[in-house]
Structure 1
Amino acid sequence: MNRTYFKATVREITQSMGKFVSIVLIILLGSLLYVGIRGVGPDLNQSANHYFQQQQLSDVKVSSTMGLTNSDLTSIKHNKNVKQTAASHMVTLQKSRNQVVSVYSYQKQAKLDKLKLVSGKLPTKTNQIVLDAKAKENGYHIGDTYQLPKNTNLKRRTFKIVGFVNSPQFVSSTDRGTTNLGSGTVDYFACVPNGAFSQKEYAAIAVQFKNSNHYAAGTDAYNDQVDRQKASLKATLSKRPRDRQKQLQASAQAKLDKQSDKLKQQEKQLAKVPSGYQTTQTKAAKQELTAGKKKIAASEVQIKQIAKPTYMYNDRSTNPGYQDYFDESHSIAAIAIIFPGFFLFIAILITFSTISRMVEKNRREIGLMRALGYTKREIAMKYIVYTLLAGILGAGLGGVLGMLTLPQFVFSLLSNNNLTEFVGVIPWSYLAQTMVAGLIATLGSALIVLTINLREVPTNLMRERAPKAGKRILLERIKPLWSHLSFNQKVSYRNLFRYKGRMIMTIVGIAGCTGLILTGFGIQDSVNDLVPTQYEDVQHFQALVTVEKATQQVHADNIAAQKPVMVKSITARPTHGTANDTVTLMVPKTTTNFAKYVTLKSVATSKRLHLTNKGVILSEKLATDMHAKAGSSVNLQIGGKKVTAKVTGVTTNYAGHWLYTTQAYYKKLTGNSVQTTTRLVKTTHTKKAQREKLSRQLLKEKGVLNVSFPRYAASSLSTGGLGSVVLIMIVMSGALALVVLYNLTNINISERMRELATIKVLGFYDREVTAYVARENVIFTIAGIVVGWGIGLFLHQFIMVKAQTGSILFPMTIHYPGFIWSAVITGCFSLFIGILTHFKLKHIDMLDALSAGE
């Protein structure tokens, strides 16, 4: 390119700086959102993976219903896949009526599940304790004396607080697990040196497998690797339940043998006493001896009945908050698949139209350059440089800004977890994709139009294209309506349909932006409606109360009604596949009035479902995971027993995996009777103070073990990240709408400069000229909003299906304010652009505009 032509290129940019900047901005916004949102999921995963590796979070926790011994520890260490282990003690205590604490043993040399110090120091003496950072809410400070209730598992009760910590075992900043003490939830944890425990058995053994760190936490590759190693570990410990049972029986038998030996000695001594010399004391001793023999006989029966302990292998997904974090990350990643892509598509479409129109507008210049002897390559270079610069600037700046800002912004809004250090990754693939997309929109469009135009001879290029022939539009054929329109209105409607390409492009641009804004509001509505919909439309009870005896009723001022049920945690597995789901099984004592507590409604027909003795009813997301439907079967594991149940229906459900059946069918499956020790409780009031009062009243009642309020526990569902992404999407979509409207209006005016100058010469006032253009924009905006609502409904449906993870099924709802706000935002931007247009039209140079084509 020669120097003169290069200057012409620079002049093209400087003289149309508004157009150039708008092209760069459109590509920048599209690239920023595409790279930024698509990078959120990987960055959240990388931040978590970095934290878990730093704190050496264990892969699996092995525990047993009878505790674990050194023999278990040795067996685990001998497994070829195990890298390292850490055995620990634990006891959960009710410190006060309102505080339940889990106390763990701490070993300075332990390399797994390392505590992260928040303040103070870690304990070094048996009289020192560190508390969960969450315990600060209860008013504890470093240096305070901390007292626990008396417990045989601890050597002491009083400790000195020396620090506050976080544990990688608790990703959630609020959830510390459940218990059968107090209100049913653990409030916080504490750690004391191992020497402060008097426990003989271990509560758990943490296990880290070899090569597990080679896989990123939360990924399918990591989960598959741990599943394989866990299966190997189970095989290693397969004989331990039987060995442990024998050990417990032998230990109990040894103690009983000692008692038996004592009784035999007493019997021998009593036998030496002549019958004539037996006293009252001798007779009492004989009676005591007889009672002792009966007791030993009963104990021998009990020893034989000592069951094999159940060994449990809990992976990271059982850690409070762990799965929620990755489920949220996966939901954001699912949203990122379609939303930013559509956003970028709109940006590319508008840019493509802008560039192609710009080149088309310069046809005469291209023809003149050809006539002067410039080669096609030299002519094309001006537009290649222009579009390359716009594409690289927009895509490059947008991609880098998106990578550096949006993921960290979303991470900073996640207040429901203990991860504090953001660790990002460079999304090379997304940066490359957005760069290619930006260049297709700019350089690609220029090359296509140039290729078409450069094929024509210079004389044809230097002539203006013949204007489109006027045609009658549909409205003209409706004579009563057409005759009542003013001249200006008739001109506007004719222009609308005369330039169909411009009309379609404008409507598509506005519709895309409106659709994106509506989608953002819709996602927010679906997230916010999750808990209310579950506990208003599906489950109508407010509290779950666990009691000792199935016959017990609970009493309190706030209770309106109650229903005895059995609630049990079981495992479901699909007929084909290995993925397990943890499911809550609910079996009512009777099916009478069960609909007042739980609404069972068919997903397929929306009709009421009824519990029968012929099978089970599954919740919708569980049925999807299990590939089950009415008439098929599902594999269940109930209390260690594997059974196959027939599915009689699939019910609408939004949070959690649920399975419902009758007492008769449960007994048919398991052979066991149903123990309805849970009460579904409906309350008259649901405010926090009233719930706390009800909980206190019930826990004072003899036989009440636990009180929980599922709806209010579920309100802490991890949705902060989704909310922040929605906020970003709405703001970015609004910004794109503003730039798109400005760009399209600017193009519209520049292409019609002679037309607008002509009507000014004919005597139209400035306001009339503005109305001449604005009338078309108003129609485009209204049409774009209506079409955009349709796009938004489709995008919302698609995204929320993709965002479903774990046991969550989002309700497909968009409330009317979303439609109103999406229209208002688009309308306000259109009005703002209309005001800018008015001032631009006031300053049209009529002579230059009219002579431009000569």
Structure 2
Amino acid sequence: MNTTYFKATLREITYSWGKFISIVLIILLGSLLYVGIRATGPDLDNSAARYFNQHNLGDLTVTSTLGLTGKDLRLIKNAPHVATAEANHMVVTKKSQDEVVSVSSFSQSTKLNRLKLVSGHLPRSRDQIVLDSKAKQRGYKLGQAYRVPKTAGLRQQTYKIVGFVNSPLFVSSTDRGTTNLGSGEIDYFAYLPKQAFNQSTYGSIAVKFNNTAGLAAGTDKYNERVQSDQAQLEKRLKQRPEQRQKEIVQPQLATINSKLNQLDKQTSQLSQVPAAYQTTQMKTAANKLKAGRQQLVSAKTKLLKTPTAVYMYGDRTTNVGYQDYFDESKSIAAIAVIFPGFFLFIAVLITFTTISRMIEKNRREIGLMRALGYTKGVISMKYVIYSLLAGILGSLIGGVAGMLTLPKFIFSMLSNNNLTHYVGVIPWGYLVEALVAGLIATLGSAAVVLIINLREKPMDLMRERAPKAGKRILLERIKPLWRRLSFNQKVSYRNLFRYKGRMIMTIVGIAGCTGLMLAGFGIRNSVNDLLPDQFSQVQHYQGIVTLSAANKRIHDKNISAQKQALVKSVTVSPTKGTKRNATVTMISPKSNTNFDKYVTLTNPHTNRKEHLTNDGVIITEKLATDMNAKKGSHLSVKVGNKLVKVKVSGITKNYAGHYLYLTPKYYEQAANANYQPTSRLIKIKDGNATARHDTNQRLFKQAGVLNVSYPRYAGGSLTTGGLSSVVLIFIALSGALGLVVLYNLTNVNISERMRELSTVKVLGFYDNEVTAYVARENVILTILGIIFGWFIGIVLHHFIMIKAQTGAILFPLTIHYPSYIWSAILTIVFSLIVGVITHYKLKNIDMMDSLAAQE
């Protein structure tokens, strides 16, 4: 009998393939998105960790404003938890007007920050050089001669290009850091053997700790461990700033004092000669000695003002693109908490409804089996097997498919970094969670309904449940409106309110799918609006011209307006708390007059205008968030080789990039330097690529023009996380889920009302009229689901975009009206597709079997 009953279970599946497959598909889609998106963050982190381990990226980089020596290297190597430390030479040189290159030393024995060879080979002699793979964009090729201007620190000017490389110090494929040369940005890097340098000091020392090996890069545990090790290293080097100053000052001071003593002796000897015996030559010599002495005194005074060295400690977050990559990973992980979870919730809800309705429909069969003597356990096995098969198949297939496809697809879309090798891990936890959710939806719903039904007596089970009593609905009380409705319309409205549970479930299912699609379209709107909003609401200039001197003037027929300003790329970090650093563009206009025509400073919370004052700086909203800063906070700003402290006087709205605005007076006060507005913010009449190129050519012919850049048209380099690819996934899978959900709910609706629909057919309704009889209710429920879905989509979109803010990007929280229309149209299209399928199903209803007596 058990074998027979098992066959009956298989027949239940084969006789209703559509229902079984739809349940499997719903669970599959939910599991696919849940596991796929949630596994993406860990997979991105794992891929980065593997890359950094392969190239042995250092945990910390130590630099100093007065350079580093062998003594610094020895102290660092002997510090607690230091596994290894390597010193490197570095120079930054301006190769041409628009080309700034950072040149670092390289050794075959290098253990830390090992280069990744893209083509060619690494340098084997001091006249060979390897370039950043980004330099290929400038036309450099293997075997080509590479010439740099005469630069202090390099032994020669001409080298042979023997290779192109990537460096783990530069995760970004576009950004190469900042400098005080040219436009303030480094265009690419290069590496030479150590023998090619003639520097007496080192530019940096890379450090690797011995207690971070087992910790994944980018995690809180790793960051906390590095901060702890860094604190111990700082204590060990605590005396070095003053010592380093003395190491530089005292030898030079001794030399100057020695020369002064010699001059004083010579002057004394000359002064002993009576005036009457002094010749013209002696007087000339005396004047020269006096001038020389003044120069030495001046040099001594300047030397004595040499500031104490500042030792700076940069963890991996200071590496260009490193933090942005992990921000992207964290943003996707944050999205994965809500979007796939909500997606899976809708799938579970609909599946629960479908399974419970299927068991309710088989009440008579369950009662008959009970009357024949079958135990509750045997009777339950049919539905347990059915539910288990659906739940396990959907969860496992969907989870494995999501694990194998979505993370790798999203990784391939993150094109703005040098990490090209994807390394995935099996997300056992998420697979188990998806499996549990699938079994709750299927097995759980079967268990709940079986427990309720099996408590009843067999005789009660074999009887049909009494239909719900008809009640007057609200519309009936509005008599003028009710009288104008047709008979079919009245029946539809009564049916809707008669089965409130079915109505609510259908609305929730449709609303969930519509909301998911709207959120996907909204994400696309926010991503696409980023740059237009930045340059329409915030920045109104198109370009920046860098000059050699503040008093230089520029003119061009394509420039409609210009404003003098000091523009520098600086590094900002909090004075306390997190060690996060950010590359920031500092802008100080020569005057506040008409500055709002170039930059609109608006408080993001009050929408009131912010004004520059001599009390502090105004920073952009995302920078304030990253630095945990507010009005009155203090920040550390590295301007060139100088570290200064500034006060935040205001926060302004901004979408792309980090910016810091201040007055000339506050700049001089904070930086202790003369204000030199060597830049011009320009507005141009024609912004197309050809016009910009021609403008550049004309400007570079003018004396003093060092660089021309166009932030307005350089937005392609801004990263938006993996959101573009995630959007496609959201929309596609949400649409697929919507189609399956509508089919499933409609299928359940028809199966429950088979006798009712058969009766309608017997009464003479044509096939089209029977379809309309059901479709009318579906149309109403679809419209209500779309409206509620819009509200769900708005909430989802806002939550996702706030969580998705990465690096220097703050997305505008906007959803355009076409997104509402498209989400509604897709839902309606899916409803129409299901309507067509339903029509053919209704045509094939066997009226005699459906009207057969149930007693």
TM-based fold match above 0.5: yes
Normalised to the residue count of structure 2, the TM-score between the two structures is 0.93
Counterpart-to-counterpart distance in 2, 1:598 and 1:665: 19
- Gap change, CA 1:208 and 1:714, over 3 Å in 2: farther
The alpha-carbon distance between structure 1 residues 255 and 554, as it changes in their structure 2 partners (threshold 3 A), is farther
Q: Return the alpha-carbon distance in structure 1 between the equivalents of residues 589 and 138 of structure 2.
A: 38
Aligned residue for 2:731? 730
Q: Which residue of 1 aligns with 2:46?
A: 46
Give the letter aligned to residue 563 of structure 1: K
Distance in structure 1 (CA, Å) of the matches to 2:102 and 2:816: 43
Query: What's 2:482 paired with?
Result: 482
Return the offset for 1:730.
0.7
AA of the residue aligned to 1:592: T
Opposite residue 370 of structure 1, the aligned amino acid is: R
The answer to whether 1:408 aligns with 2:408 is yes
**Structure 1, residues 91-120: CA drift from partner, whole Å, max 9, x if none?**
223333443322221101010010111122
Q: Distance in 1 between matches of 2:667 and 2:282?
A: 55
Aligned to 1:115: 115
Q: Are residues 1:834 and 2:824 paired?
A: no
C-alpha deviation, 1:658, in angstroms: 4.3
1:495 corresponding residue in structure 2: 495
- Would you say the 8 A contact 1:105–1:192 is kept in 2? yes
Q: Is the deviation greater in 540-549 or in 459-468?
A: 540-549
Change (3 A) 1:665 1:96: closer
Q: 1:244 maps to which residue? A: 244
The whole-number CA distance in structure 1 between the counterparts of 2:203 and 2:543 is 30
Q: CA deviation at 1:585?
A: 5.3
Q: Tell me the distance in 2 between the aligned counterparts of 1:329 and 1:685.
A: 38
Render the CA deviation track for 1:397-454: whole Å, top value 9, x for unaligned.
1111111111011111111111111111222221121111111110111111111111
% same residue: 62
Does 2:761 correspond to 1:760? yes
- Equivalent residues of 2:762, 2:847 under 8 A apart: yes
CA distance in 1, matches of 2:101, 2:667: 35
Matched residue, 1:655: 656
C-alpha change, 1:150 and 1:279, in structure 2 (3 Å) is: same
Distance 1:734 1:45, change over 3 A: same
Distance in structure 2 (CA, Å) of the matches to 1:485 and 1:191: 82
1:156 Cα deviation (Å)?
2.6
Which shifted more, 351-360 or 284-293?
A: 284-293
Q: Partner residue of 1:462?
A: 462
Indicate how the Cα distance of structure 1 residues 512 and 582 shifts in structure 2: closer, same or farther if over 3 A, else same: same
The 3-state SS of whatever aligns with 2:839 is: helix
Instruction: State the 1:553 CA deviation.
Output: 4.8
Q: Which residue of 2 is the match for residue 818 of structure 1?
A: 819
1:785 is the counterpart of 2:786: yes
Structure 1 pair 242–162 and aligned structure 2 pair: CA distance change class (3 A): same
Change over 3 Å in CA distance of 1:609–1:99 after alignment to 2: closer
Instruction: Give the equivalent residue in structure 2 for 1:6.
Output: 6
**Counterpart position of 1:602:** 603
- State the one-letter code of the partner of 1:635: H
Tell whether the 8 Å contact from 2:509 to 2:785 is kept in structure 1 after alignment.
yes
Aligned residue number for residue 800 of structure 1: 801
Q: Per the alignment, do residues 583 and 137 of structure 1 end up closer, same or farther by CA in structure 2, a change over 3 Å counting?
A: closer
Offset at residue 212 of structure 1 (A):
2.1
Alpha-carbon distance, 1:666 to partner: 6.3
**Is 2:183–2:546's contact at 8 Å kept on the other side of the alignment?**
no
Local SS of the residue matching 1:213: coil
Q: Would the alpha carbon gap of residues 185 and 695 (structure 1) be closer, same or farther in structure 2, given more than 3 Å must change?
A: farther
Q: d(CA) in 2 for partners of 1:332 and 1:453?
A: 44
Deviation (angstroms), 1:289: 2.5
Q: Which residue is equivalent to 1:188?
A: 188
Q: C-alpha deviations, 1:114-143, integer Å up to 9, x for none?
A: 011112222212222222222222333323
- The CA deviation string for residues 505-526 of structure 1, in whole angstroms up to 9 with x for no partner, is 1111111001001101111211
Q: Give the whole-Å Cα distance in 1 for the aligned partners of 2:693 and 2:579.
A: 42
Rate the CA distance shift 1:102–1:626 in 2: closer, same or farther, 3 A: closer
- Secondary structure at the aligned position of 2:724 is classed as helix
Paired with 1:652 and 1:391, the residues of 2 have a C-alpha distance of 48
Structure 2 unaligned regions, length at least 5: none
Instruction: Rate the CA distance shift 1:655–1:128 in 2: closer, same or farther, 3 A.
Output: same
- Conserved 8 A contact 1:20-1:390: yes
Mapped partners of 1:212, 1:698: distance in 2? 51
Q: CA deviation at 1:735?
A: 0.8
Name the SS for the 1:682 alignment partner: strand
C-alpha distance in 1, partners of 2:665/2:253? 39
How far the C-alpha of 1:661 sits from its partner, in A, is 4.9
- Shift in CA distance, 735/659, structure 1 to aligned 2, threshold 3 Å: same
Aligned partner of 2:441 in structure 1 is 441
Contact 1:32–1:403 (CA under 8 A) maintained in structure 2: yes
What is the alpha-carbon distance in structure 2 between the residues aligned to residue 99 and residue 617 of structure 1?
Answer: 31
- Counterpart of 1:384? 384
Moved more, 464-473 or 263-272: 263-272
Question: What is the CA–CA distance in structure 1 between the aligned matches of 2:305 and 2:663, rounded to whole Å?
Answer: 30
Q: Contact (CA 8 Å) 1:517, 1:730: kept in 2 or not?
A: yes
Deviates more, 1:219-228 or 1:474-483: 474-483
Query: For residues 514 and 62 of structure 1, do their structure 2 counterparts lie closer, same or farther at Cα, with a shift above 3 Å needed?
Result: same
Distance 2:550 2:158 in 1: 38
Partner secondary structure for residue 214 of structure 1: coil
- In structure 2, do the counterparts of structure 1 residues 575 and 124 end up closer, same or farther at CA, with 3 Å as the change threshold? closer
Looking at structure 1, the residues matched to 220 and 768 of structure 2 have their Cα atoms a distance apart, in angstroms, of 63
Deviations along 1:659-715, one digit per CA (max 9) or x if unpaired, are 545556667778877554544333333333444444555555555555443344444
Distance 1:653 1:378 in 2: 66
Closer/same/farther in 2, CA of residues 287 and 659 from structure 1, 3 Å limit: closer
| Alpha-carbon distance between aligned partners in 1 of 2:297 and 2:319, rounded to the nearest angstrom | 44
Contact 1:737 1:826 in 2 (8 A): yes
Equivalent residue for 2:300? 300
Matched, 1:369 2:369: yes
Contact 2:318–2:582 under 8 Å retained in 1: no
For residue 177 of structure 2, what is the aligned residue in structure 1?
177
Cα distance, 1:473 vs structure 2:
2.4
How far apart in 1 are the matches of 2:7 and 2:26? Answer: 25
Q: Deviation digits for residues 221-265 of structure 1, max 9, x if unmatched?
A: 222222222222222222222222212222323443565476568
Q: Secondary structure, in 3 states, of the residue corresponding to 1:150?
A: coil
1:281-296 aligned at under 5 Å gives the runs 281-296=281-296
- Relative distance call for 1:570 and 1:543 in structure 2 (3 A) is same
Residues 748-773 of structure 1: CA distance to partner in whole angstroms, max 9, x if unpaired?
11112222222222222222222222
Report the 3-state secondary structure (helix = DSSP H, G, I; strand = E; otherwise coil) of the residue aligned with 2:774: helix
Q: 1:264 to 1:572 in 2, by over 3 A?
A: closer
Q: Is the 8 A contact 1:545 1:704 kept in 2?
A: yes
The change in CA–CA distance for 1:160 and 1:583 in structure 2 (over 3 A counts) is closer
| TM-score, with structure 1 as normaliser | 0.93
Aligned residues, how many?
A: 851
Match of 2:32 in 1: 32
Structure 1 residue matching 2:765: 3-state secondary structure: coil
Equivalent position amino acid for 2:782 in 1: T
Asked if 1:334 corresponds to 2:334, the answer is yes
Taking a change above 3 Å as real, the CA distance of residues 5 and 410 of structure 1, as seen in their structure-2 partners, is same
Structure 1 CA distance for aligned equivalents of residues 494 and 396 of structure 2: 41
Task: Give yes or no for contact 1:416–1:720 (8 Å, CA) kept in 2.
Answer: no
Contact 1:626 1:634 in 2 (8 A): no
Moved more, 86-95 or 112-121: 86-95
Q: Are residues 111 and 638 of structure 1, via their aligned partners in 2, closer, same or farther at CA, if it must alter by over 3 Å?
A: closer
Q: Is contact 1:635–1:642 with CA below 8 Å preserved after alignment?
A: no
SS at match of 1:233: helix
Which stretch has the larger CA shift, 225-234 or 834-843? Answer: 225-234
**Partners of 2:377 and 2:222 in 1: CA distance:** 53
Structure 1 residue aligned with 2:61 = 61
Closer/same/farther in 2, CA of residues 60 and 150 from structure 1, 3 Å limit? same
1:483 counterpart letter in structure 2: R
Aligned: 1:79 with 2:112 = no
**Are the equivalent residues in 2 in contact too, given 1:36–1:402 (CA < 8 A)?**
yes
* Alignment-derived partner of residue 154 in structure 1: 154
Counterpart position of 1:634: 633
User: SS where residue 636 of structure 2 aligns?
Assistant: strand
SS in 1 for 2:633: strand
Equivalent pair of 1:575/1:634 in contact (CA under 8 Å) = no
